[in-house]
Structure 1
Amino acid sequence: MEADGFPVLRCALCIGGMPVKDQIELIKRGVHIMVATPGRLMDMLDKKMITLDVCRYLCMDEADRMIDMGFEEDVRTIFSYFKAQRQTLLFSATMPKKIQNFARSALVKPVTVNVGRAGAANLDVVQEVEYVKQEAKVVYLLECLQKTSPPVLVFAEKKQDVDAIHEYLLLKGVEAVAIHGGKDQEERTRSVEQFRNSQKDVLVATDVASKGLDFPDIQHVINYDMPEDIENYVHRIGRTGRRGKTGIATTFINKTVDKSILLDLKHLLLEAKQKVPPFLATLQSESEKYLDIGGEIGCSYCGGLGHRIADCPKLEALQTKQAQNIGRRDYLAHNAADW
């Protein structure tokens, strides 16, 4: 860009797990763009290390995940530090009800721009779903790695499973690295760079790698575990088939997977015109005949295609959590009054 006569854009990265001093020294020299996590940004604003007085644009990437993880109040707090009118952009591969509600309440006359159906699977990804018994998964994983050339992404739900798979692959001579929330930032950064630079063939990860990380040439995504909601499945398989290229996503399922998730997966495969394996095709529920009502398909809350909002497990879990928090808050307040 500099060669074409454009000015050089100065960027700053502000995230936890790295020294604040280094980040502030960079910012003091003047930056055009700041990329930050909500926690570190709020800390800097609260301590008046930085201001947003002249900031005019705010972009939230993976907005659905941010709201899902409970950052809504933090984001609203960050909004309050702006002194002038701003343009706010929310980017998300899925657009469940909670994001729509947040946009309506936090933004002025929000406009939704859809590229395809929000929450739909990428049609450049060949989705293969295989029934694999729990005890056979780690052995079958080696066979699955033979489907394509590297690089390959393997997703597991639990940190301990990521570590176990990583160790198993290393013992079998596979060049693999692993990342999850239990590893420090330096180790995660090093693993990602080794994988991105083709020094390692396989990256084993929890959902920390399902969003926000861009690996342009992933050949194959393997879901060692089916995620707990269909949104995460869409994000995971979206790591391959990028920039007009095709990719393969293999998902292991068995009887331990919740039926509602399997129904969502079945209807997602049907929508994307993918092959539906017999054990999914025969799976039926009482509510399936009510999936398409009033022009709205599936669940309006989480976006799952295999159920309606009345049967949404995600909404039910949220309501249960809220009920528990209310009870706990009342209990704590009562005890505080006694003291």
Structure 2
Amino acid sequence: MNYLKASPIQEMAIPIILEGKDLIASAQTGTGKTAAYLIPLLDLIIRSRNEHITALILVPTRELAKQIDEQIEGFSYFIRATSLAIYGGGKGENWDQQRKALVDGADIIIATPGRLLAHMKSGDVKFDDLKCLVLDEADKMLDMGFSDDILYVIKHLPVNRQNLMFSATMPQKIRDFANKILRNPEEIKLAVSKPAVGIDQQFFLAADHQKLPLLIHLLKDKKDLTIIIFSSQKSMINQIIRALGKVKIMARGISSDNSQEEREEYLRGFKNKNFNILVATDVLSRGIDINNLNLVINYDVPRDAEDYIHRIGRTARAETTGTSFTFINEKDQRKIASIEKLLEREVEKQNITESLGLGPAPEYSVEKRSFKKPFKKKFFGKKPAPKP
């Protein structure tokens, strides 16, 4: 697997997990959180050899479930540990395959909460020998509204088990949730909510109608790079792909509108370098590990600063370098203030649309980004009589 040296999160987490303690850990995306819990879990499995499920890993998306399943396959090549990813979508026979694994017992189950809940409510799911529960990307699962599903699952697990919670961010709602699940946990907190130092972040001012021609200009000499373009709007995915296709730049798109088979096919083709550009919504902003990703483009500014960190965190993983471009229109300028606050620095805003013959870009205004409504005095009782 080409792991030559433990990352800080691995170095700190693995001994705690091996001791059987509960753990809550946060570290920026791309630092190796998955291996930090998988390696000691596999050690537990080869020592215990349960007949039924030993570890349950809950994750927010099917893409992350599949990726973890693939990593387990690599890590456990010589120890014969079994695992299965359980998620919605796909063909009907997937349900029967998933159900068989839950009933007969794979060593590790990786599941999205909703799909696992459906299986549990249909009966016969066995967690009698479960030794460890892992919540991966816990903050994202709570953002997606999975808290009730997770608590339902936990009620049906053995009381005596190890609990591990991994998250890229640690807001108060995560701590409150952890208090319901973890018992006297150890805590690891590393560089929360900061992008990797190897990312060259560049901001470009552009009105909506200027974004596509600006994108095409920036990609002219980058056709051979591995690139993800993020859009917050599903409706823009196909428009971006068509515009790139007109200048003979091949790209594929992934959003929640795609079938599971399409999403898997495109992600596999992208990882195998069958094409270099993937256009996606935030479905790919968390946990998806793609080697040697050179460039991340935010076609629009993401909803909040945390989403920005996760998007650009797809590049410069594992101490490599990468680049991110972010397009800023007039209405998104207010979001930049919170991003720069998180970065603890200002990023230069480039204005190149006019030099490209696209007309002037929106002017970046500090007033617009920190706009506050003027305070109006309120009078109580009778207003004073007007002066003569």
TM-score bracket, normalised by the shorter chain, equals 0.7 to 0.9
The equivalent residue for 1:13 is 85
TM-score, normalised with respect to structure 1: 0.77
The amino acid that maps onto 2:226 is: P
The equivalent residue for 1:329 is none
The equivalent residue for 2:279 is 204
How far apart are residue 37 of structure 1 and its match? 0.7
The equivalent residue for 1:256 is 331
Write the distance in 2 (CA, Å) between the matches of 1:4 and 1:251. 39
Matched residues, percent identical? 31
How far apart are residue 177 of structure 1 and its match? 0.7
Write the distance in 1 (CA, Å) between the matches of 2:77 and 2:318. 28
The amino acid that maps onto 2:120 is: L
The equivalent residue for 2:37 is none
Write the distance in 2 (CA, Å) between the matches of 1:4 and 1:179. 30
> What do the CA deviations read for 1:149-188 (whole angstroms, capped 9, x no partner)?
4210000001111121122222221121100011111111
The equivalent residue for 1:74 is 149
Q: Is the 8 A contact 1:60 1:89 kept in 2?
A: yes
2:196 to 118, 122, 144: 122
The equivalent residue for 1:23 is 98
Counterpart check, 1:192 vs 2:264: no
Write the distance in 1 (CA, Å) between the matches of 2:291 and 2:339. 25
The equivalent residue for 1:245 is 320
User: Where do 1:1-339 residues align within 5 Å?
Assistant: 6-18=78-90, 19-27=94-102, 30-116=105-191, 118-146=192-220, 148=222, 149-257=224-332, 259=334, 261-271=335-345, 275-277=347-349, 282=366, 285=370
With a CA cutoff of 8 Å and minimum separation of 6, indicate the structure with the bigger relative contact order.
Answer: 2
How far apart are residue 250 of structure 1 and its match? 0.6
Write the distance in 2 (CA, Å) between the matches of 1:113 and 1:3. 24
Q: 1:3 to 1:197 in 2, by over 3 A?
A: closer
The amino acid that maps onto 1:35 is: I
> What do the CA deviations read for 1:95-130 (whole angstroms, capped 9, x no partner)?
2222122112332233331122x1122211111111
Gaps of 5+ in 2: 1-72, 351-362, 373-388
The amino acid that maps onto 1:20 is: W
- SS of the equivalent of 1:112 reads strand
Q: 1:202 to 1:55 in 2, by over 3 A?
A: same
Aligned length: 283
Gaps of 5+ in 1: 288-339
Q: Which shifted more, 1-10 or 63-72?
A: 1-10
Write the distance in 1 (CA, Å) between the matches of 2:110 and 2:302. 28
The amino acid that maps onto 1:67 is: L
- SS of the equivalent of 1:188 reads helix
Q: 1:26 to 1:108 in 2, by over 3 A?
A: closer
Write the distance in 2 (CA, Å) between the matches of 1:99 and 1:128. 31
Q: Is the 8 A contact 2:128 2:157 kept in 1?
A: yes
Write the distance in 2 (CA, Å) between the matches of 1:132 and 1:226. 11
How far apart are residue 26 of structure 1 and its match? 4.3
Write the distance in 1 (CA, Å) between the matches of 2:75 and 2:201. 43
Write the distance in 2 (CA, Å) between the matches of 1:119 and 1:29. 40
- SS of the equivalent of 1:122 reads coil
Q: 1:72 to 1:28 in 2, by over 3 A?
A: closer
Write the distance in 2 (CA, Å) between the matches of 1:71 and 1:122. 28
> What do the CA deviations read for 1:4-40 (whole angstroms, capped 9, x no partner)?
9952111111110132012233455541111111011
How far apart are residue 258 of structure 1 and its match? 5.5
Q: 1:3 to 1:223 in 2, by over 3 A?
A: closer
How far apart are residue 198 of structure 1 and its match? 0.2
TM-score, normalised with respect to structure 2: 0.68
Bigger Cα Rg: 2
- SS of the equivalent of 1:113 reads strand
> What do the CA deviations read for 1:250-285 (whole angstroms, capped 9, x no partner)?
1001212151x22112223435xx743387694674
